[in-house]
Chain A
């Protein structure tokens, strides 16, 4: 009775793991990388000029300009982030004309002052500095300093448009629309902000709006949705074919235990997909290759275990004792063998980026899941059949030498 209860417990445990993996897979879904669902990866690099070197302030200025440009494209999930000291990475989902978007994002923006008719009165190069501050009444303002040429120009502009509104545009987007209240000689100020944060935001854009330094598009990778779809379809087909052939090989070589190994492989696949979904790892095309490759590694763990059990059987132990001893000795080998692969996966994940990192991450997760499967699933599945004729027969873990 106790033995039977143990068996039921083991069976429940396996089912619970599978159910949990299914749950994760259905509720979280797997993130697809740009190369699978289509999209663009763009790397922009700031180019220092004679007047300006690259520093943190310059970079956040650039980042904000880029963010505004990307937002103007109206995409659902753009990603913009700094990389290193002088680069910005932009990732866009699949769009109709990605190369046009890249062209827009990477160009050097222009800050302009325009009249109500849209005529350009002066441009950002006349601005020396812009800072958020408070005026004498404690209201948040943006103070603008012009260079010598700009001071002259703005004096003329403010005289000509006194009492009228002028627009300050970044590319074609209106930042602010102040009324000229005075003829301004020297620094000017823009009022009408509700908070100092608002003023701060505009001051950065006015100051850095026309991109403090030029940026260069140093790397772009764009994949259209069609190619992504082709890649996914082909990979699934390849994975299934690989899996089937491995299963056939295992059954041919190991007979009933081989069949169990094939079942365990399918369970491994489900756990792996569930884990990837649960961790929200991004699956890339090399990542899929990593997954399929980890099938090989997972089956290897089973092979090591089976061969160990056979060795134990040859030394004359009973089936039950052989299985226990075989597992115990195989564990150590599996850990040593997998830790080294895990080390390379970790280093690869750290030193690379983009799709190759996707490969390293899925390979790493694949190895961990395959170890988990070997330790917790394989043993329990084998135990379920220990007392059946399937495993007792000569062919299974047999002592016959081939």
Chain B
């Protein structure tokens, strides 16, 4: 099987997906949730379905957060509604809660989240910093254990996965909160993990088959580790899919991000990382 020989095809596929993602990232952008943009979120549970207009009437009665976004929750059995408003004071939150309890005696407030705009800004900054630091630490580790070029290629690969995940989220317009950052960092870890298993084999082949051209020994490494790559991503994707389908609404976004990222991660470790190494190595020997 010649995977690395067809690297131009893989580059094109990746570039196309990234390009589409980037277009959506730049035009529609990410749908930032209250963790990043600040605001209030309240989730109520009712005995029977309460539609959005009825819920809005309750808000209108007390004249608080009248312009909030009202939504039915995904889990049907709890007849829930989600109210998204701008940042509300503790007094206002209490007023909203009491107003609903007056109108619907058996209602229950499942959760309340209020994030001030300043906190949102901080969370954004910290998320970015965490991502940057993680990448840096990984470059250092791989440079020590492997070679610098392996490290740079690994970083390009994980950027590839992160950008694709971000792009798809911009495309589908799904709301993101802090768990999304955790998901991105997991993708970073996983992507690196996947790439390293292949790099580890290339490193080994470089010693065992030092007479062979780099492309050939790298291709052998990719092909030999293919069962592992496929099996691992299958088992991981199975668990992610299980949580996505059965794990409840609040971690769905998190799992979707993981699913996309892990999928991209598996693809890139096979079709992007090692091909890039070959391209890099060929350029260097051509320049000599």
Answer yes or no: do A and B interact: yes
Residues of A bordering B, CB below 8 Å: 35, 43, 45, 98-100, 102-103, 106-107, 216-224, 226-227, 230-231, 234-235, 237-239, 241-243, 245-246, 249-250, 253, 285-286, 289-290, 292-293, 295-297, 299-300, 303-304, 307, 311, 329, 332-333, 336-341, 343-345, 347-348, 351-352, 354-356, 359-360, 363
With A227-B110, A242-B242, A292-B239 in contact, is A99–B189 under 8 Å at CB?
no
Measured CB to CB, the nearest residue on chain B to A223 is: B111
**B247 contacts A230, CB within 8 Å?**
no
B3 on interface, CB distance cutoff 8 Å: no
With both chains docked as a complex, state the minimum distance between the C-beta of B45 and any C-beta of chain A, in angstroms.
7
With A307-B225, A352-B126 in contact, is A343–B197 under 8 Å at CB?
no
**A242 contacts B126, CB within 8 Å?**
no
Listed A/B pairs (22) with beta-carbon separation below 8 Å? A45-B118, A99-B109, A106-B90, A217-B114, A220-B112, A221-B114, A224-B108, A235-B247, A243-B239, A245-B239, A290-B186, A293-B240, A299-B235, A333-B200, A340-B189, A343-B141, A344-B134, A344-B188, A344-B189, A347-B133, A348-B130, A352-B178
With both chains docked as a complex, state the minimum distance between the C-beta of B241 and any C-beta of chain A, in angstroms.
8
**A221 contacts B111, CB within 8 Å?**
yes
**A253 contacts B231, CB within 8 Å?**
yes
Q: Which residues of B contact A106 (CB under 8 A)?
A: 90
**B178 contacts A356, CB within 8 Å?**
yes
Most buried by B among A217, A295, A338, A345: A217
**A300 contacts B181, CB within 8 Å?**
no
**B134 contacts A286, CB within 8 Å?**
no
CA distance A98 to B287 in the complex (A): 68
Q: Which residues of A contact B119 (CB under 8 A)?
A: 43, 218-219
CA distance A217 to B113 in the complex (A): 12
**B109 contacts A224, CB within 8 Å?**
yes
With A102-B90, A299-B232 in contact, is A336–B145 under 8 Å at CB?
yes
B78 on interface, CB distance cutoff 8 Å: yes
Measured CB to CB, the nearest residue on chain B to A84 is: B122
**B90 contacts A337, CB within 8 Å?**
no
Task: Tell which of B137, B194, B240 touches A343, judged by Cβ atoms closer than 8 Å.
Answer: B137
**B193 contacts A340, CB within 8 Å?**
yes
CA distance A238 to B225 in the complex (A): 29
